[in-house]
Amino acid sequence: MFRWFHKLASTRNFYRLAEILAPWLAILCAILLGVGLFQGLFVAPTDYEQGESYRIIFVHVPSAWLSLFIYMTMAFCSLLVIVWKMKLADIVAEVSAPVGASFTFLALATGSLWGKPMWGTWWEWDARLTSELILLFIYIGYMALRASIDNPATRARASAILALVGVVNIPIIKFSVDWWNTLHQPASIMKFDKPSIHPTMLQPLLLCALGFTVFYFVVMLLNTRSLILERESKSSWVQERAAEGRL
């Protein structure tokens, strides 16, 4: 059962797999984001209450979604590091952190730009906004921790533990709007009820969310390949490929 898993877990195989996958994902990402953003800006109707300002949703929600999704990916990788000592998982977690941090920042910034005209404030210390800010600090702490430890094995273990502890914050972010009263409104899409967003607006939103998710995979695969080369530059397969000029 674990054979395919072990095969994938080898950095050499993953390097090759990412090489094949990345260009296709990049094309898919361009199509999804192209269509999604076009529909979001030009086709989706004006909102009955928020007018045109609601169009920020097409960049705000995907960033917020990615901030959580990338963290969950890192936490899953950290589990693989702790239990199975998987080198590849450590690499994926390392390259994911800056991407996650940048999208967390984006979620906060676009939220602020949306909050000012609609709520009347750039920032309010409500549970949703605060827990998302804590997520940004966890990302930064994770990167700082990695940068401060030289021993690779210690670095992998310590940062994996931090990532797994921080996972507690994820359900807090998701359910903050239900558990406490907040300025931020409850969920529109990911809830048990049917989405409370009109299909003509939901479609571009889902395209954008999917597009940005694929974008994360493209950047993650690219950076994972670079980090594999950096870490294993002395290994025979890398040297071989370098000598043949097909890195």
Partner 1 sequence: MHPKRKQKLILVGLMVGAVAVAAGFILTAFKSNIQLFFTPTEVAEGKVPEGAEFKVGGLVAANSVKRVGDGLTVEFALTDNGQTIPVRYTGILPDLFREGQGTVSVGKLDENGVFVADRVLAKHDENYMPPEVAEALNKTKAVQQAKTQPYGADTVQMQ
Partner 2 sequence: MTEFLSMGGYAVYVWPSFALTALVTLANLYFALHRRKKVVARLQREASQSAT
Return the number of the residue (84 or 122) whose C-beta is nearest partner 2. 122
Write phi, then psi, for 9 (nearest 5 degrees): -70, -20
- Cα–Cα distance, 61 to 56 (Å, whole number): 8
Interface with partner 1, residue 133, by CB under 8 A = no
Write phi, then psi, for 193 (nearest 5 degrees): -70, 175
Return the number of the residue (157 or 241) whose C-beta is nearest partner 2. 241
Interface with partner 1, residue 13, by CB under 8 A = no
- Cα–Cα distance, 24 to 163 (Å, whole number): 30
User: CB of residue 35 vs partner 2: minimum separation in angstroms?
Assistant: 16
- Cα–Cα distance, 230 to 176 (Å, whole number): 41
Return the number of the residue (123 or 175) whose C-beta is nearest partner 2. 123
Instruction: Give the contacts of 27 (CB within 8 A, at least 6 positions apart).
Output: none
Count of residues in contact with partner 1, rule CB under 8 A? 41
Coil/strand/helix, residue 140: helix
Per CB under 8 A, the list member of 20, 49, 52, 190 interacting with partner 2 is 52
- Listed residue (131, 155, 129) closest to 143, CA to CA: 155
Interface with partner 1, residue 84, by CB under 8 A = yes
* Residues of the shown chain interacting with partner 2 in the complex, contacts defined by CB under 8 A: 42, 46, 51-53, 55-56, 59-60, 63, 98-99, 102-103, 105-106, 109-110, 113-114, 116-117, 212, 215, 218-219, 222-223, 225-226, 229-230, 233, 238-239, 242-243, 245, 247
